[in-house]
Structures are given as C-alpha cells and as structure tokens.
Amino acid sequence: MKHRLGSLAAAAALAALVFGPAAARAQITAAAGYTPPDDTPKFNVGGTIFADYTYQMDPLTKDSDGNNIHTSGFNLQRAYINVTGSISHWVSFRITPDVVRVGTLTVGGAPVSVPGLTGTLTYRLKYAYGQINFDDFMKGWWARIGQQQTPFVDFMENIYRYRFQGTIFVDREGFLTSSDLGFSTRFISPGNWLEVHAGVYNGEGYTQPESNDQKAWQIRGTLRPAPNVDILKGLRLTGFYDGDHYVYHAKKTRTDTALTFENPYINLGAEYLWADDQNSSATKPVVKAEGYSIWANPKMPYLGDPNNPQDHAVGEGWEALLRYDNLRPNRDQPGHKKRYIAGISYWFPVLKPGIAAALLADWEEVKYDGFLPGNANAKPTERRLALHTLFNF
C-alpha cells in the first residue's frame, strides 16, 4: 500500500514538473463519494405556441364596402423554436427564433410593400446567447453574452403565467422589452433569500439595431424575506432600475418596484413604474410617466389520486385571471389609460416541469379617461373577447 501511494505521489510530482499543476491534479484519484460534474455535451429542441381567436366588440370598424363590422380573426402570437444545450457543465447556450408578421419596409423615409413578403408570417431571432456557469463556486451564478432576456420582464413572466394572453404592464406599454443584445450576470445568495441580475444592453430591444453610443444599464434585486417558511416562501420583493439615454444627456430611465406571492391556491402581484423620457433630444422637456398593475390568479388545484405517484401533476387545474393596469403617460397632463382583464383558464395535467398546455377565455377592456382633445391617447374604448391557447414542450 505504501509503495502504491509513493508511486502515485511520484507520478503527480513528475506530471507537475512536465505539464504543470493541472496535470498533477488529474493524476490523483478522486476521493470516495465524490461525483464529478456531468460534462457530456447536450442538445435539446422544444417549442412554444400561442394561438388565439379574438373578437373585437368595440370600436366598430369598416370593411372595404363601408359596412360597420366587428373585426375578428385567428392569430398566432408566438411560435418559438427553442434550441438549448450545453457543451460542458461550464458552458451552455440557447437559440430561439420567433414568428412575426412582416410589415412594410421603410426606404428613404417612405413605406415600401414587398410583394410576396409583406403581411406574411416569418421568423426573426428572439434569443441567441452563450452562458458561462459558475455553479462550482456559487449555485445559480452565471454570466451571459448575446441576445438574451432582460432582468425584469423575464423574471415577472415566470410568475405571471399569462404571457399567452398578453405581455406584462411595462412591456405592453412600451417601457421595457423582453430581449436585448448585451452582457449580464446573475447570482443567488446561499439560502435563496437574495437574487441579483444586472447587465449592460444596447437599449434598443431585440427588434432594432443599436443606433448610437448609449447603453442601458439594468439591475434587478429580489428579496425573499422568509425562504424557509412554507406559508411565506413564495413572497418576493423586487426593485429594478434601467438607466439609459436616447442620445447624450437625453434621459431614458425606468424604476419599478414589485411585490409577488405564489402558493398552490393563488398567485398575485403588484408593481409600480416611474419613467422619464427625453425622446430623441436633450433639448426636449422630460416626459414623466407613472403607472401600476395589479393581478391575481386564484387556483383550484388538480385533484388527482394522492396514493398514485404518477398522478401528481404539475401546474394543472382551473384558474381565474384578474388584472387591472393604470397608466398616466404624462404626469404634467390629465389622462389615464386603464386596462381591465378577466378570464377563466384550464391548465391540463402534465407530469414534467417545463411542459404546459392551457386554455384561457377572457374579456378585456381598455379605457382612455380624461385625455384632452387632440392628445394621441384620446381614443374610443376598446372591448374584446378572446380564446387563448398555450402549448409549451
């Protein structure tokens, strides 16, 4: 035994001398009970589909013959192809194209229709990034570069599960985007009581190229006050800041605070937004907007057979969707944009996290209250009924 240990030590010393310390470490047999990380390359393909039928109750529109009609139609809002994988336990990646309806192009400041292309559904890139994982040092710590999720929108959409009905408040009103080109990092503290996600982005969003030398610096901090208390572990408090400029000294900032709560019987959330904009020039006045969103998903959990381990489904059953948004686009002028959403959904039983199928029937109303005549927001009330579907695999 002593002879064998001496041989191992000699081999390690020789490897260190010839090839360096890394080679020496490779000569030493792993300690009993140690499981090395899985460095097998992996490649996965999945998808996400949002399809709906929407009936516009108000306002009426006119067809080509001048008849008053309620517009309606079948729509495809999202058709992701998710390509994900890992090269080793250190390096992973994601590529996701998404469907988009092609509009007219702008050439020389004038709209141009492209025969055979304008109006069709085609694909554009939503995500494409590489990720370095630092789980060896702190679980949940990574860094990304490329076209990726922004810190606040992606976080909130993972709690508000009804992206297939429509985007969250700050995204729907155009204050933040869900994806952008940049570099970011995230870490989660030991004990899971604090999460921080920060990054620097172009600031134009994934649908536009970078147009100047300004960058968006974004940071989100999320606190779990009681991660080990069953009744309170779903409670999270979040603060977010986005510091950007349209051009040098022309402000484009967003500050958001949010409270969210999740448990088997209800998910709920509330957020408040402040935004400052000097769109396109530092010589323009700062437009200060503010608003808030409140939503809740009361749930009726799936009642499977508690004695059958194969019948413990994930994220299933009947739910209600209740949401109210209130936006004041300019605090120096009167007027509020108000959105009301009410619906009932059914989430089909599945046995694997990350797989989902759901139906949602909902009513939505958007009111434009108190805006002065001539204001771009002085619009008639909108009302619509819709049946939304989600397929995630």
| Residue whose entry in the numeric block shows the structure tokens 């309806």 | 101
How far, in whole angstroms, is CA 352 from its chain's centroid? 21
* Residue-range domain boundaries for the chain: 1-36, 43-392
Question: What is the pLDDT, as a whole number, of residue 375?
Answer: 93
Tell me the pairing of strands 61-62 and 68-69.
Answer: antiparallel
Mean pLDDT estimate for the chain: 88
What CATH number has the domain spanning 43-392?
2.40.160.10
The arithmetic mean of pLDDT across residues 150-158, rounded, is 97
pTM: 0.85
pLDDT tens digits for range 305-334 = 555 655 555 557 999 999 999 999 999 999
| Residue 86 pLDDT grade (very low, low, confident, very high; cuts 50, 70, 90) | very high
Using a 10 angstrom Cβ sphere, with 0-12 exposed, 13-18 middle and 19 or more buried, the burial of residue 338 is: middle
Burial 235-259 (b: 16+ CB within 10 A, else e): bbebebbbebbbeeebbbbbebebe
Count of beta carbons in the 10 Å neighbourhood of residue 390: 23
